[in-house]
Amino acid sequence: MTAARATADIVVWSDFGGVLTSPLDEALDRVLTAADLPADAFREAVRRVADDLAPGTGCTGDLEALERGRISQAEWGRRVTAALAPRIPRIDLTRFGDHWYDGRLIDTRLLAHLRTVERPGVRIGLLTNSVLEWEPHRQALLHAAAPHLYPGLFDTVIASHVCGLSKPDPRIYAHAEATAGVRPDRCVLIDDVPANCAAALARGWHTIVHTCTDTTIAALDGWLRCR
């Protein structure tokens, strides 16, 4: 990549879960229903596991150790199951990703729109907090949604479990910039988590807090028209 291209290009970075898929709250509700667990009890168990892992992993967020590849899904599931005692979940939490992705749908309209805005000078990237064991599910969803484009849907993919960083850590945005070869002001992030957008904004990125497909498409098109 030449320096001229790195200066000129714009990268539209999209999150995956909750942006290109159905909302995360819906997925969590399905998991909790299948597990027969109250939301508060599950969240408290996950928080306790995160607190226990923090001294050894340096990760403080609820899912950071899992998303940064510091612990396997199987070990995380065993710890959460133990933290839930005396409650016993009706599903195997060591295979959490199977349940997390069950019934998930791709927002094919937003995905297709991202492909239409890609052109010389505008690239599409994926910037996602992800888990190694969940990758087959993500790949299957994308392949089913756009088999004619898969696997070249994104010019650049930044996945937390690969780089060992996760949103909203500022270092993952710096890593994305360096990988794509663009300045912060040439990046726009579409994300459903306001804290992730706030961290990107602090680095000089442009951001779109995703709430629904229509508003995200309108915001993206408006931003690109001004570039």
CATH number of the domain to which 200 belongs: 3.40.50.1000
Contacts of range 202-206, beta carbons closer than 8 Å, 24 or more positions apart: 202/170, 203/170, 203/173, 203/174, 205/173
| Whether 18 and 52 share a structural domain | no
Chain position carrying tokens 């969590």: 28
| Whether 61 and 152 share a structural domain | no
Phi, psi of 183 (to 5 degrees): -80, 160
- C-alpha dihedral (216, 142, 68, 206), degrees to nearest 10: -20
Give the residue ranges of the chain where pLDDT is below 50.
1-7
Q: Is residue 176 within 8 Å of 125, Cβ to Cβ?
A: yes
| Whether 153 and 185 share a structural domain | yes
Phi, psi of 195 (to 5 degrees): -65, -35
Of 62, 83, 100, the last residue of a domain is 100
Look up the pTM and report it.
0.92
Q: Is residue 113 within 8 Å of 217, Cβ to Cβ?
A: yes
Looking at residue 23, the DSSP 8-state letter turns out to be -
3-state secondary structure of 211: coil
Q: Given this model, what pLDDT does residue 109 score?
A: 94
Q: Given this model, what pLDDT does residue 8 score?
A: 54
Q: Given this model, what pLDDT does residue 2 score?
A: 32
Q: Given this model, what pLDDT does residue 63 score?
A: 94
Q: Given this model, what pLDDT does residue 190 score?
A: 98
Of 202, 210, 191, give the one whose Cα is nearest residue 13: 191
Domain count within the chain: 2
Of 85, 100, 115, the last residue of a domain is 100
Neighbours of 71 (CB within 10 A): 20
